[in-house]
Amino acid sequence: MITVIAGGVGAARMLRALLQVVDASDVTTIVNVGDDLVLHGLHISPDLDTVTYTLAGAINPETGWGLVNESWQARTMLEQYGGVSWFGLGDRDLGTHLYRTQRLREGADLATVTAEIAQAWNLGLTVLPATCDQLQTMVTLAADDPADADSPGLPAGTEISFQEYFVQRQHSVPISAVRFDGAEATTAAPGVLEAIETANLIVIAPSNPLVSIAPVLAVPGIREALIRRRSAVVAVSPIIAGAALKGPADRMLSELGHDASVLGVAALYKEFTNTLVIDSADAALQSDVEAFGLNCIVTETIMSQPGVSESLARTVLSGVSR
Amino acid sequence: MITVIAGGVGAARMLRALLQVVDASDVTTIVNVGDDLVLHGLHISPDLDTVTYTLAGAINPETGWGLVNESWQARTMLEQYGGVSWFGLGDRDLGTHLYRTQRLREGADLATVTAEIAQAWNLGLTVLPATCDQLQTMVTLAADDPADADSPGLPAGTEISFQEYFVQRQHSVPISAVRFDGAEATTAAPGVLEAIETANLIVIAPSNPLVSIAPVLAVPGIREALIRRRSAVVAVSPIIAGAALKGPADRMLSELGHDASVLGVAALYKEFTNTLVIDSADAALQSDVEAFGLNCIVTETIMSQPGVSESLARTVLSGVSR
């Protein structure tokens, strides 16, 4: 049994790689919901959807998010009204949000709805939100955000939601803090703690440590469960040669006082991680990672390269026994 | 200045006819919101949208509701999930609901959002919801509703919302009562009472008297304002030769103890209506209508027939002076 702690795009690719070499029924993923938002009254769960669509083979390969063969009629109409359109809602994707929102309004919890959606796509693995409760990742701007067509501009010190930072501002503003609003009042979704406690291997996917993995850990009980299972935890670094493959993880690490390198990842993860898998490009840092008290495996980790995803999956699976 | 009390399809066609012969800037319409529903978290205003889309020349001419050149990607996805899909939400139409819902969540009232949507379509006339407050048309089933794929079946006496009756059950169940839930606590939207008080002519469009016109009248102050302006009120009968052109108005009139004829309409409207326009097919009933204390004009009223809509509009405009 394998449990994967997941954010969005990087985690979805790691899961897809793992499913090349293990049976889906043996895999559970615990997915970040700190990026969730309510927009136009719809409950949107970007990381859950990215994982689901990727594993269903339905992800838009050009963007890494949203559905393939998507149309944009609703958004075109919304733009005609001058409505909020910075968050890209494709027509097919809207079907998912409509379904989730309706079910939540009927009283189903997010874990139930997530399972129904995974079932509809015949995913085979178990997809769990970290929590069914509200937990919202907030970031504090470190500099003034200039006004533009979508926004009147915001002064340094303003706290905004993750999607307002990540999508609306394309993470173009430096930040000074990250906070998981409401986290202390949440409880782990049904099955989450059990999936950590009973797994033979726990994988921390190559997702942003600060805004994809950390909000999962902020749910009371999850970090503690991982610490108890530390010997079974293998993390894959999302930072390669000081840079994130996608997204602002490297810049965020620097801005928040961490090393923007595998060493920064090692420092953040050492408490609950036994083994850190780093890219061959960082081979020179292996002993520095080990100095954090971690096993360190060096291998190819860029899953878009031919053959890498399957070999990375096999390396991760072997990681726990090294 | 002309003010039109409106439901959906029939009213939209009456408005379109009137705009052939008067300037849009001289027209205000007060539209039923008793059919509004929240579905999937979205605020949907079917009659407002039918009026808007029709006057924009964007209505689907085959159905009389929804947008022309519509696509159904979101609904197809929703059906894949087994979600609630009896209410047809096209992709373009969703853009309207997304915009309305977002603006309401931002604190705008329904009148403001309705004006913004009318402006985006360059309608020219003033479109007002009867109220910005919640008023929900409810119907009581007079017989058991059999179970089917969408519903577990409901016993006689159950009260359901208008759309559950009209769309989900295709108005196939007899009803024993209509009620406007919340009506007594509503106030007329800004401009509504003024539009009635200051109009030279007030038109009751050929809409369902019981579930399109009555919920407008149920907003405190509107019926009283119409009574005060009775001499300026011209109604167009939605019943022709005992039948509704579209929808269940004839059957509902019978089920609720009214005459399913122009006489039933006359009885319902006489308190606040000076002149009732009836179809030539009902010419024999003219004196019976007049016996209700109403002026009665007999003319062609089926607006889908060539030339009828403009001549009906001219007749309605002349009605007040007869």
Half-sphere exposure of B25 (CA within 13 A, CB side): 0
- The answer to whether residues B50 and B31 touch, using CB atoms and an 8 Å cutoff, is no
- Cα torsion for A182, A187, A188, A191, to the nearest 10°? -150
Same domain, B277 and B163: no
Chain A residues whose C-beta is within 8 A of a chain B C-beta are: 38-43, 70-71, 73-78, 80-84, 89-99, 101-103, 105, 116-117, 120
Min Cα–Cα distance to chain A from B105, Å: 7
Q: Which of B161, B181, B201 is the last residue of a domain?
A: B181
C-alpha A240/C-alpha A302 separation (Å) is: 9
**Do residues B228 and B279 both lie within one domain?**
yes
- Closest Cα in chain A to B100: A40
> For B47-69, what is each residue's pLDDT tens digit?
999 999 999 999 998 888 899 99
One domain, residues A157 and A254: no
Confidence of residue B320 (pLDDT cuts 50, 70, 90): low
Q: In whole numbers, what is the pLDDT of chain B averaged over residues?
A: 95
Tell me the whole-structure pTM to 2 decimals.
Answer: 0.93
From the candidates A98, A105, A121, which should be mutated to test the interface with B, based on the most B CB atoms within 10 A?
A98
**Would the pLDDT of A320 be above 70?**
no
CATH number at residue A258: 3.40.50.10680
Nearest to A99 among B78, B101, B117 (CB): B78
The reply to whether A235 and A140 lie within a common domain is no
**CA of B7 vs chain A CAs: smallest distance (Å):** 23
- Please say whether the beta carbons of B177 and B140 come within 8 A: yes
Say which amino acid occupies A254. Answer: S
> In whole numbers, what is the pLDDT of chain A averaged over residues?
95
- The whole-number average pLDDT for the span B15-28 is 97
Same domain, B17 and B121: yes
Least Cα distance to A38 among A111, A131, A121, A105 occurs for A105
**Given an 8 Å threshold on Cβ–Cβ distance, is A40 in contact with B98?**
yes
Res. B321: pLDDT tops 70: no
B160-182 confidence digits (pLDDT tens): 999 999 998 889 899 999 999 99
Whether the per-residue pLDDT at A171 is higher than 50: the answer is yes
Contact between B277 and B237 (Cβ < 8 Å):
yes
* Residue B6, min C-alpha distance to chain A (Å): 23
For the record, the structure tokens of B19 come out as 């705009």
Residue-number span of the structural domain to which A271 is assigned = 2-133+185-319
> Is B191 in the same domain as B171?
no
Mean pLDDT of A259-277: 98
- Indicate the residue among A150, A165, A181 that finishes a domain: A181
Residue A273 and residue A238 share a domain: yes
ipTM of the complex in this document: 0.91
> What DSSP state is assigned to residue B146?
P
Q: Taking a C-beta distance cutoff of 8 angstroms, is the pair B185, B179 a contact?
A: no
Query: Do B117 and B162 sit in the same domain of this protein?
Result: no
- Residues A66 and A80: their CA atoms lie apart, in Å, by 22
**Helix count and strand count (H, E) for chain A:** 13, 14
Do residues B191 and B103 both lie within one domain? yes
Chain centre to alpha carbon of residue A28: 14
Residues A183-237 have pLDDT tens digits of: 999 999 999 999 999 999 999 999 999 999 999 999 999 999 999 999 999 999 9
- Chain B nearest-CA residue for A117: B81
Task: Give yes or no for residue A322 having a pLDDT over 50.
Answer: no
Residue A321 pLDDT > 80: no
Q: Residues B269-278: what's their mean pLDDT? A: 98
Q: What pLDDT, on the 0 to 100 scale, is given for residue B148?
A: 78
Beta bridge partners of A306: none
How far apart are the C-alpha atoms of B28 and B201, rounded to whole Å? Answer: 11
How many Å apart are CA A78 and CA A75, to the nearest integer? 5
Q: Which of A146, A161, A181 is the last residue of a domain?
A: A181
The answer to whether A83 contacts B99, with C-beta atoms less than 8 Å apart, is: yes
Return the beta strands (E) in A45-135 as ranges. 126-129
Residues B80 and B215 in one domain: yes
Say if residue A238 is in the same domain as residue A302.
Answer: yes
Give the pLDDT confidence score for residue B174 in this predicted structure.
94
How many domains, in total, are found in chain A?
Answer: 2
B239 and B263 assigned to the same domain: yes
pLDDT tens profile A113-168: 999 999 999 999 999 999 999 999 999 999 999 887 767 889 999 999 999 999 98
Assess contact for A20 and A309: CB atoms under 8 A: yes
